[in-house]
Amino acid sequence: MAIIGIDLGTTNSLATLFNEVGVKIVRNALGNALTPSVVGLDDDGNVIVGEIAKERLITHPDMTVAEFKRTMGTDRKYKLGKDTYSSQQLSSILLKKIVADAKDYLGEEIDEAVISVPAYFDDKMRIATKQAAELAGIKCERLINEPSAAALAYLSRNHWKDGTYMVVDFGGGTLDVSIIDSFDSVMEIIAVAGNNQLGGKDFNEAIYRYFLLSNNLLEDSLTAEERAIIYRMSETTKIALSTNPIAVMTVVIRDQEYSLTLDNNKLIEIAHEVFEKIFTPIKKVLKDSRLRPEDLESIVLVGGSSKMPTVAVYIEKVTGVKPCTDIDPDTAIGIGAGIYSGIKMKNQQLKDIVMTDICPFSLGVDTHDYNNDVIMSFIIERNSMLPCSNMRSYYAIHDNQTVVDFKVYQGESIIPENNIYLGTISIGCPPTNKGEFIATVRMTYDINGILLIDVTNVNNETVSKTLIDNNVRLSEKEMEAIKKKLDKLRFEKDTNDEVKLLISRAERIIEESVSFERERLINALSAFKLTMAKGNSIEKRRTMEAFARFLDACDL
Ligand code: ADP
Ligand code: MG
């Protein structure tokens, strides 16, 4: 039985295992480290996850869902075929696939996972993530903040060198910035900030808009499929600019060719708002931790979007520090989650490492000030070290008060309404007059950043809630019902291994061949992969047989 680490990303996910030699990156059934966080149904109603589902985003938008992590812990439902699914349920399907692939790859049963979540995930999102794992049939006792995971990966490679670090994690849909102190193998996260609506996606959108503009194309005149093609090409162009000075984007729509030539300077210009937004959380963590950029040992860049050279240049411009990009931005967080699973298993190699995490936002309840205005009363301050617990007392606001309602909020604004409302907790009490003590509120944040609230009245009677919004934490009965629904889904498995084998075989023959023969094989392989991604079962079966015969003929 093993514990794996999982980076459950908005765009891509990755699993790792900690063993005697360190962290091992798990390869999925197609042999890749990253599994796109995309879930869909094929034409036969089987579940497909990862690369193949991603391929079908354009061709089968009604049967494929991506970026569902953005709505984790909310009521948002996604339509997939005849049914609808929450982000949690889709994450559970994705986790099931990741774990199944890891089991095949490692040849070992997996019963537990340490899952990374954005530092800015609130309580609901964290609970939803843990329950997604349970729905997928794996235990998840520990969540780790993604920047903490990145820092673990970086520090383990750099021999836990003492110092203060900034980790900038720039992914597909979120930006997380954190300050980490590492002294004598004790890692402490001292500040975090972020923007959970900023990522690589925003560059794709900027390029997409600019492409339409410079080609005089009106979005409304395009079909959903045409838009999706332009969007996908926008991302390809962005990625090309990470390694090339210039990229040409060409899209054919209704037999007419449209194109756009971009370089990084132009990209900075058209996406300047995206770049500017990167600075806000950087400024915030520095302010919160009372540090200047020159106090930092290093700025560590992780996440797919940090592969853009323009991002590193921008960060250097605003901080004066040249960021470090020498750990693989794609796998750093997964590796950190794996190291944390090693710490959790009390692995000998890691026995000296201690990691502490913080609560990324303030928590409190609404109260009345002297002017009778409703204001926030903060109970846990942002950046408090986890686990933490704090208590405040409250007084009656009118005579003969027999009940008190505390509205719980998360956020930094003094005006409760500007913060995120988490729910209300009420308690009855003996009649109390204005200004007299009425109740205490204790808030306890556990190691995973999950909140427990206790309200105690004058008579020492207590009302406790793990989560104020009962819709979020599913009851056992609800869990069973959802599990049943998910268990009914058939995972497309039967042909996968065979396909995998054909692909690896083709790749090998390609390696062995040259020039014209090689081109012919490359084209045949692309066509084969396309049918495997998009065809129906009959087409797939036929193509597999034909491709096997073709390979037999080439493989002399
Ligand atoms: P997440 O943490 O959201 O799952 P990742 O860290 O995997 O995401 O980052 C995904 C984002 O990184 C996508 O927007 C993708 O376009 C972008 N990306 C991946 N590789 C590159 C590259 N070489 N250059 C620029 N952007 C890239
Ligand atoms: Mg990520």
The finding on whether 11 has its CB within 6 A of some atom of ligand 1 is yes
Ligand 1: residue whose CA is nearest its atom 20 = 304
**Lowest mean pLDDT across 157-161, 350-354, 479-483:** 350-354
Residue 535: inside a domain: yes
Residue 367: inside a domain: yes
Residue 93: inside a domain: no
Indicate the SS3 state at residue 181: strand
pLDDT at position 129 is 95
- Which of 6, 7, 12 maximizes ligand 1 atoms within 8 Å of its Cβ, making it the mutation to test the pocket? 12
Ligand nearest to the backbone CA of 12? 1
Predicted confidence band at 194 (pLDDT cuts at 50, 70, 90)?
confident
User: Which atom of ligand 1 is closest in space to residue 329's alpha carbon?
Assistant: 6
pLDDT at position 495 is 57
Average pLDDT over residues 35-43: 91
CA distances to 230, 250, 254 from 204, in Å? 10, 15, 22
Distance from Cα 363 to the centre of ligand 1, integer Å: 32
pLDDT at position 467 is 57
Residue 14: inside a domain: no
Residue 499: inside a domain: no
The finding on whether 333 has its CB within 6 A of some atom of ligand 1 is no
- Which of 169, 208, 302, 305 maximizes ligand 1 atoms within 8 Å of its Cβ, making it the mutation to test the pocket? 305
The finding on whether 304 has its CB within 6 A of some atom of ligand 1 is yes
Predicted confidence band at 471 (pLDDT cuts at 50, 70, 90)?
very low
**Number of domains present in the structure of the chain:** 2
Count of alpha carbons within 13 angstroms of residue 329, beta-carbon side = 22
Residue 280 predicted with pLDDT over 90:
yes
Instruction: Give me the residues paired with residue 533 across strands.
Output: none
DSSP string for 509-534: HHHH--HHHHHHHHHHHHHHHHHHHH
Ligand 1: residue whose CA is nearest its atom 24 = 239
Q: Which helix (H) or strand (E) holds 507?
A: helix 496-512
Residue 488 predicted with pLDDT over 50:
yes
Residue 492 predicted with pLDDT over 70:
no
Ligand 1: residue whose CA is nearest its atom 16 = 200
Residue closest to 488 by CA, chosen among 47, 43, 130, 37? 47
pLDDT at position 14 is 97
Predicted confidence band at 270 (pLDDT cuts at 50, 70, 90)?
very high
Q: Return the CATH number at 433.
A: 2.60.34.10
Residue 430: inside a domain: yes
**Number of other CB atoms surrounding residue 138 within 10 Å:** 21
**Lowest mean pLDDT across 264-278, 346-360, 378-392, 407-421:** 346-360
Instruction: Tell me the percentage of the chain whose pLDDT exceeds 70.
Output: 97
Domain final position from 391, 420, 446: 446
Residue 543: inside a domain: yes
Return all residues near 454 (Cβ < 8 A) that are at least 6 apart. Answer: 441, 442, 444, 462, 463, 464
Domain final position from 424, 446, 468: 446
pLDDT at position 468 is 45
Domain final position from 446, 465, 488: 446
pLDDT at position 36 is 95
The finding on whether 12 has its CB within 6 A of some atom of ligand 1 is yes
User: Where in the sequence is the domain holding 542, given as residue range(s)?
Assistant: 513-554
pLDDT at position 322 is 94
Average model confidence (pLDDT) for the chain? 89
Residue 258 predicted with pLDDT over 70:
yes
Distance from Cα 61 to the centre of ligand 2, integer Å: 24
Give the ranges where 250-308 is alpha helix by DSSP (H): 264-270, 272-288
**CA 305/CA 312 separation, integer angstroms:** 10
Residue 406: inside a domain: yes
Beta sheet of 363-368, edge-to-edge order: 374-380, 363-368, 401-410, 420-432
Q: What is the pLDDT of residues 92-117, one digit of tens each?
A: 999 999 999 999 999 999 999 999 99
**Number of other CB atoms surrounding residue 108 within 10 Å:** 14
- Structure-model confidence comparison of residues 200 and 474, the more confident one: 200
Ligand 1: residue whose CA is nearest its atom 18 = 304
- Indicate the length of the chain as a whole number: 556
